[in-house]
Structures are given as C-alpha cells and as structure tokens.
Amino acid sequence: MRIGLVMSEYPSARGHGGLATYTYTLANALARLGHTITLFLRAGVSADPLDPAVRQRILEPRKTRGLCPALTRLLFPEIAHERDCSSGLFAELLSLRADEGLDIVQVPEYNGLAVSFRNAPFPLILRFHTPAYFVDQLNGISPGSRRCRWYGHEQAALRNARGFTVSSEALKKEVCRHYLLDPDRVTVIRNPVDCETFSPADARPSGPLRLLFVGRLERRKGLDRLLPCVGALLRKNENLVFTFAGKDQGGEAGAYREALIRAAGPFSGRLEFRGEVTRSELPALYRSSDIFVLPSLFDNSPNALFEAMASGLACVGSDTGGVNEMITEGETGLLFAPENSQDLINKIERFINHADVRRELGDAARKFIMEKHPPGVIARETVDFYNRFLS
C-alpha cells in the first residue's frame, strides 16, 4: 500500500511532542510491513530515526490567490498560514499520486491541515489527537472571537475526511459529541509504543527514591493538582526526589516552576527541573526513576505514560479520560480520585512504602504495553482500517 502520513507539529529545538512520536513510530512500523510510506514534515522539525524505506518530504506553504485569501491573510494571518500549508501539502500529494501512485493519506486534525482537500482523488483519513477547542477548555482558557475562528478552521477540515481514527474511547466520545459525528465513523486505534527504546533498567539505581513527572507544565496536565501534594510528600519522605521534565506553559516565565518551589517550601532542594528533554534523553530518565505520576485533567493517549509503563515504572494516574483506559487500578498501576489531593498523596505513598508493589505493578504495566501496543500490531490494525476505503 502507498501511504502518505503528515506530521504537523511546529519545529522545536528540543525535539517534539506526542503527535510526532505517534507518527514516526507508525511510519516505521508500516514500512517494516512492506508498505511504501511518504512522511510530510514541516521544515525544521527534528526527526526520530526512520526506517530507510520511509521517504521524507518537506511541507511547504503555497499561497492561494483571490479576495477571500487576501482578507484572511490580513485579518487572521495564523489561519492564512495554515491554509497555505494545507494548499501546499495537497499540491504535493497530487504530484506524488501522479508520479508514483498514492492509495491513502492520513492527516492529524491539528491545525486544520486537511482544510484544502476538497474532492481529493484519494481517501483521506483524519486522526484526532486533541483539538484546540478541547486543549483550551482543559487549560481553563475562555476563547475570544479570534480563537473561536481558529476552532472553526480546524473543524472545517473534518468535512473532507472519509474516515476518522482516535486513540482513546474518551476522546472518541468527546469529538463525536462536539462535532456531531456518527460514532460509527470514528474508530479507536491505540498508539504504538516502542518497547525496545523504552525498557526497564537492568537494576534499580542506587540513591534516593525518584518520583517523575514528564509533560508540559500546564493546567491540563494536572499541575494544579500536584501543588498541594508536593510539600507533604517531600516532608514525610526524606529520601524522595521529585523530577519534572517538560516546558513550563504557565504564562509568565517559569510560573509553574516557581509555584512548585513555593509549595515545596524548605524541601525545594529535592525538586529537579529538567525543562524540555529530547526523546533520546527520555529512556535514561525513566530508567533512573522509581515512580511516575500523571495527574492530568484529561489525556487522550499520553505518550509519557505509555513510555513510563513500557519502562516498568510504577505509575499513578488520575481516574479520568484516556488515563484510566491504560491504568487498571491495582493491576497495571494506581488511580486517584481527580479532585482529591489526599488520595493522590496516599497512592504515591503506597508505592513509596512498598517496593514489592512497585515492582509487581511496574512489571504488569510493561507486560500490558507489550501485549496491547506493539508497533507491528498497531500497524496491522491501521492497514486493516485503511483497506475499508480502498476499492
């Protein structure tokens, strides 16, 4: 099968987020099954190692002419840019189809990159990650008219899709409700996880017990839930070090970092802030840790949780959408009641105080990921889904 995949995250000097991790992992897995994969990237995006069979093309904007595009460029330059990117991508896909053939294309909903794909001569599959309206909702952002216009831009791309995929039942329910989509048109295909790159340490490192958070420091990732817990955990557990890896999204420079330091009080010396880390740095970070915590308000399919589970860490997560589809309480990790900070403390302390429970649930977490999320299995499920749209 000849497949076009699009990776639309903005360039980053330190790596990339979950959308790119998913796309690179899937592209490699599909190529290993013998399919011809063309991966479209924005200029400047840093790529993970790719199978030699995966071809890369740079996504270049292509300005559209006319009064409406000119007005959009004047009034909403951010939308105009993404429409130009969509137009350039569509032209590249048409060229690829004419020169070499193209059976199917998958594009993320992110940034509305499929908005120009009207009457596409190939089946278009749109994969939901987390739409902008929902990200803002989870971060407590009240959108103005300009931001609502952006939501409409992303939504306009949906009408061009033949089918939709999503990686969690929770997000499927949300997008079907918000966009009034028929649930039969939306298929859950889980994210692939690289269990070779993310694997347990041969032996537990010596030194303090290490609690790890990986993700953007922002409201939707549950930082506000952690703040009341940090001081109590560090005070009661003298051997505990708490590491945060991720960019601070708190508005003012270092807002969440400073709030965490204040919350830790005299114990702030046992907080570590790594900032953004590259994907190549993550395996060692997981292997040097003992417990992973993810207190998200909602998390479609958190790659950090998958990677921590694959690395055999004891994981504590919020009992909410996406997370509770990965963690089964007492079997593959521990879940806490989202609005109960004491419950979060109790669950973390259960792991702190019981090395045998950490080991047992960490081993079960890795087994779960290896059985349910191996790239080859997810790639075959994806191909089976694509075949529904091919004559």
Answer whether residue 61 is part of any domain. yes
- Residue 249: the pLDDT is 77
Same domain? 14 vs 125 = yes
For residue 264, pLDDT beyond 70: yes
For residue 251, pLDDT beyond 80: no
CA dihedral 373, 287, 276, 294 (to 10 degrees): 60
Answer whether residue 198 is part of any domain. no
Answer whether residue 307 is part of any domain. yes
Answer whether residue 28 is part of any domain. yes
- Residue 13: the pLDDT is 47
Same domain? 16 vs 161 = yes
For residue 176, pLDDT beyond 70: yes
Helices (H) and strands (E) in the chain, counts: 13, 13
Answer whether residue 250 is part of any domain. yes
Same domain? 355 vs 367 = yes
Answer whether residue 119 is part of any domain. yes
CATH code assigned at 289? 3.40.50.2000
CB 177 within 8 A of CB 245: no
Q: What is the mean pLDDT of residues 272-282?
A: 89
CB 294 within 8 A of CB 315: yes
Q: Which of 212-221, 250-259, 342-351 has the lowest mean pLDDT?
A: 250-259
Same domain? 325 vs 232 = yes
Same domain? 335 vs 381 = no
**Could you read off the pLDDT of 338-385 as tens digits, one per residue?**
889 999 999 999 999 999 999 999 999 999 999 999 999 999 999 999
Assign 50 a pLDDT band (cuts: 50, 70, 90): confident
Same domain? 262 vs 138 = no
For residue 48, pLDDT beyond 90: no
The total number of structural domains that make up the chain: 2
Same domain? 76 vs 131 = yes
Q: How far is CA 30 from the centre of its chain?
A: 19
Same domain? 31 vs 161 = yes
- Residue 319: the pLDDT is 96
Same domain? 121 vs 99 = yes
- Residue 207: the pLDDT is 86
For residue 47, pLDDT beyond 70: no
- Residue 34: the pLDDT is 96
CB 191 within 8 A of CB 378: yes
- Residue 315: the pLDDT is 98
- Residue 276: the pLDDT is 87
Answer whether residue 17 is part of any domain. yes
Assign 46 a pLDDT band (cuts: 50, 70, 90): low
Q: What is the mean pLDDT of residues 186-210?
A: 91
Instruction: Please count the other Cβ atoms lying within 10 Å of the Cβ belonging to residue 233.
Output: 21
Same domain? 327 vs 338 = yes
Range of the domain at 48: 2-192+374-387
Same domain? 80 vs 169 = yes
Answer whether residue 139 is part of any domain. yes
**Could you read off the pLDDT of 113-171 as tens digits, one per residue?**
999 999 999 999 999 999 999 999 998 999 999 999 999 999 999 999 999 999 999 99
Instruction: Convert 25-94 into a string of H (helix), E (strand) and C (coil).
Output: HHHHHHHHCCCEEEEEEECCCCCCCCCCCEEEEEECCCCCCCHHHHHHHHHCHHHHHHHHHHHHHHHHHH
How does the average pLDDT of the chain come out, rounded? 92
**Could you read off the pLDDT of 225-236 as tens digits, one per residue?**
999 999 999 999
Instruction: Please count the other Cβ atoms lying within 10 Å of the Cβ belonging to residue 228.
Output: 13
- Residue 49: the pLDDT is 72
**Could you read off the pLDDT of 82-97 as tens digits, one per residue?**
999 999 999 999 999 9
Same domain? 109 vs 213 = no
